Amino acid sequence: ILNVEQSPQSLHVQEGDSTNFTCSFPSSNFYALHWYRWETAKSPEALFVMTLNGDEKKKGRISATLNTKEGYSYLYIKGSQPEDSATYLCASPSGTYKYIFGTGTRLKVLA
Amino acid sequence: DTAVSQTPKYLVTQMGNDKSIKCEQNLGHDTMYWYKQDSKKFLKIMFSYNNKELIINETVPNRFSPKSPDKAHLNLHINSLELGDSAVYFCASREGSRDEKLFFGSGTQLSVL
């Protein structure tokens, strides 16, 4: 069974601070790693899908890196803003159709 | 236009009733899913259909029955609702392979009284 873990579970940062959190996954049989942003009372929205070891993706102030050999991905937010407050989920495919989601990192950015 | 739409958004019902949640995607995707957000806010897969064919049935009670009349729709019917069924249910779809991102509906908050 694939185990996807995220840390920390939650964090509070001040507006303007940069922050990062981790997603770890089994490195064997790796296929892809997804990051989603989930605002309260809304639905998860995809940020990145990463497939290549060493890959780095960027979307505005948010970026992610991938290390498939050691089984981790980092999500970075530069200059956090209150609107970045959300739960950030990572997920990894297990088989062709199933995704295993981590429990998420709940980010609160304080103004 | 909403890509993945679920109805209703809220559903309040009594124990023992039968209810349905509908999901439609206008993205032309082949694969659709039902996820349940459990009490710890964790997303757990329930079902997956690919081109109207059931692919994943993740040890969900028989009271839950998905139906896919065509590849754009995946409905969830729940018989004899129980208190423990109260949760938020999300529909999602995906275009092709597992490196394609999931598109989620806005969720249906089910409350069983």
Single-letter code of the amino acid located at B41: K
Interface probe for B, chosen from A2, A66, A92, A99 (most Cβ of B below 10 Å), is A99
Q: Please check whether residue A101 is in contact with residue A82, taking contact to mean a CB–CB distance below 8 angstroms.
A: no
Hey, what amino acid is at B38? D
Q: Please state, rounded to an integer, the average pLDDT across all residues of chain A.
A: 93
The one-letter amino acid code at B58 reads E
Residues of chain A neighbouring B43 (CB-CB closer than 8 A): 44, 89, 101
Burial of A66 (0-12, 13-18, 19+ CB in 10 A): buried
Q: Chain-wide mean pLDDT for chain B? A: 92
Quick check: bond before B69 cis, omega within 30?
no
Instruction: Report the Cα A101 to chain-centroid distance in Å.
Output: 10
B25-60 pLDDT per residue, tens: 999 999 999 999 987 778 899 999 998 899 988 878
Pairwise CA distance, residues B33 & B46, whole Å: 7
With CB atoms and an 8 Å threshold, state whether B99 touches A103. Answer: no
- The number of C-beta contacts closer than 8 angstroms across A and B is 54
Question: Residue A49: its chain B contacts at CB < 8 A?
Answer: 99-101
Window A:28-47, CB contacts with B under 8 Å: 31-32, 34, 36, 42-46
- For residue B79, the distance in angstroms to the closest alpha carbon of chain A comes to 25
**What integer pLDDT is reported at residue B1 of this predicted model?**
63
Each residue's pLDDT tens digit, A51-65: 999 999 999 999 999
CA angle, B5 then B9 then B11, to 5°: 135
| Joined tokens for residue A68 | 């498939």
Which residues, other chains included, contact B113 with Cβ-Cβ below 8 Å and sequence gap of 6+? Answer: B12, B13, B14, B15, B83
A16: confidence class by pLDDT, cuts 50, 70, 90: very high
Residue among A32, A43, A89 minimizing CB distance to B98: A32
Q: What is the DSSP letter of B73?
A: B
pLDDT for A27 equals: 86
Angle at A104 between CA A71 and CA A56, to 5 degrees: 45
